[in-house]
């Protein structure tokens, strides 16, 4: 894109198209929440091993939940334009479909000037990668997918829900 061409309204680019971190200093502090989810598909035998704590590396779900929480807290170190945030709560929960899939849902909360969508998405991604890492010795064919924002609340744009999106 040439410098003189009109640019879409991307907040992380300045007028010249150079990257910048958005200044949120003048925005009011509000309660903000985001929930993201994603899934990992695996062989039925792998999921049985996870359930029965038969994975040599340890309790897969407990370690992955811890990894998700740690990732949310460190998102600003991984995603260049994210602000460091004081998170007030992080909840990571696995749902077992009973066959071959685990779904990880993470909700992140803060009171601040910017949202926590990236923290929730990062937490889901790292939590699922941790499951893969812990189980790869018995199942390299696992597939991670469908990582997505489900709900965002707070801030100027208010509430957004995936099930209500056009």
- φ/ψ of 118, rounded to 5, equals -65, -35
CB atoms closer than 10 angstroms to residue 112: 21
At 43-61, the pLDDT tens digits run 999 999 999 999 999 999 9
Residue 104 has pLDDT above 50, yes or no: yes
CA 11 to chain CA centroid, nearest Å: 20
Is residue 67 within 8 A of residue 127, CB to CB? The reply is: yes
pLDDT in tens, 15-31: 777 776 666 667 788 99
With a CB cutoff of 8 Å and minimum separation 6, the contacts of 165 are none
pTM value?
Answer: 0.87
Cα(33)–Cα(106) distance, integer angstroms: 10
Q: Of 39, 36, 27, nearest to 160 (Cα)? A: 36
SS3 content of the chain, % helix, strand, coil (to 5): 30, 30, 40
Contacts of 19 (CB under 8 A, 6+ apart): 12, 13, 80, 81
pLDDT confidence of residue 1: 45
Domains and CATH numbers, the chain: 30-164 (3.30.70.640)
The residues that are catalytic are 133
pLDDT of residue 20: 66
């Amino acid at each position: 894109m040439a410098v003189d061409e009109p640019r879409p309204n991307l907040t992380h680019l300045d007028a010249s198209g150079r990257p910048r971190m958005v200044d949120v200093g003048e925005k009011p502090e509000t309660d903000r929440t985001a929930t993201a989810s994603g899934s990992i598909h695996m062989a039925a035998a792998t999921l049985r091993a996870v359930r029965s704590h038969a994975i040599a590396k340890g309790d897969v779900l407990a370690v992955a939940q811890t990894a998700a929480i740690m990732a949310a807290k460190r998102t600003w170190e991984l995603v260049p334009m994210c602000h460091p945030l004081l998170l007030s709560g992080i909840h990571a929960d696995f749902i077992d479909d009973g066959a071959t899939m685990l779904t990880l849902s993470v909700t992140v909360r803060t009171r601040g000037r910017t949202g926590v969508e990236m923290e929730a998405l990062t937490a889901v991604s790292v939590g699922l990668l941790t499951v893969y890492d812990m189980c790869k010795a018995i199942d390299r064919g696992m597939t991670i997918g469908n990582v997505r924002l489900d709900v965002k609340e707070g801030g100027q744009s208010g509430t957004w829900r995936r099930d209500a999106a056009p």
